[in-house]
């Protein structure tokens, strides 16, 4: 999944990792995948949960925030050895 992000100051570099907060969800870790003029494309390191993505796409900001807080697939996983 890629989104366009404005970078009017030209500070984001290819391969750089950034944290995003979208409508009360996050942080989301993403890598800068491309640059063109003042825009960059990002690739999330973990896909957004399907329900959260659908709500964001529908501009249901509050519902997306609530769904994100209820979904635990975005949390870091630890392996015990």
Number of structural domains found in the chain:
1
- The 3-class secondary structure across the chain, one letter per residue, is CEEEEECCCCCCCCCCEEEEEECCEEEEEEEEEEEECCEEEEEECCCCCHHHHHHHHCCCHHHHHHHHHHCCCCCCCCCCC
Distance CA 36, CA 29 (A): 21
Asked if residue 57 belongs to a domain, the reply is yes
Cβ neighbours of residue 67 closer than 8 Å, sequence gap 6 or more: 49, 51, 52, 55
Please report, in angstroms and rounded to a whole number, the separation of the first and last CA atoms in the chain.
32
What is the phi/psi pair of residue 20, to 5°? -120, 145
Asked if residue 53 belongs to a domain, the reply is yes
Q: Is the model's pLDDT at 26 over the cut of 90? A: no
Global confidence as pTM: 0.69
Asked if residue 15 belongs to a domain, the reply is yes
pLDDT: is 67 or 79 the higher one?
67
Domain containing 42: what range?
Answer: 2-70
pLDDT mean across residues, the chain: 81
Mean pLDDT of 19-41: 87
Asked if residue 75 belongs to a domain, the reply is no
């Amino acid at each position: 999944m890629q989104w366009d992000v404005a970078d009017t100051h030209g500070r984001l570099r290819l391969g750089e990792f950034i944290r995003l907060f979208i409508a009360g969800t996050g942080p989301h870790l993403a890598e800068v995948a491309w640059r063109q003029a003042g825009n960059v494309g990002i690739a999330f390191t973990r896909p957004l949960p399907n329900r959260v993505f659908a709500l964001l796409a529908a501009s249901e900001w509050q519902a997306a925030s609530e769904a994100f807080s209820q979904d635990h697939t975005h949390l870091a996983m630890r392996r015990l050895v």
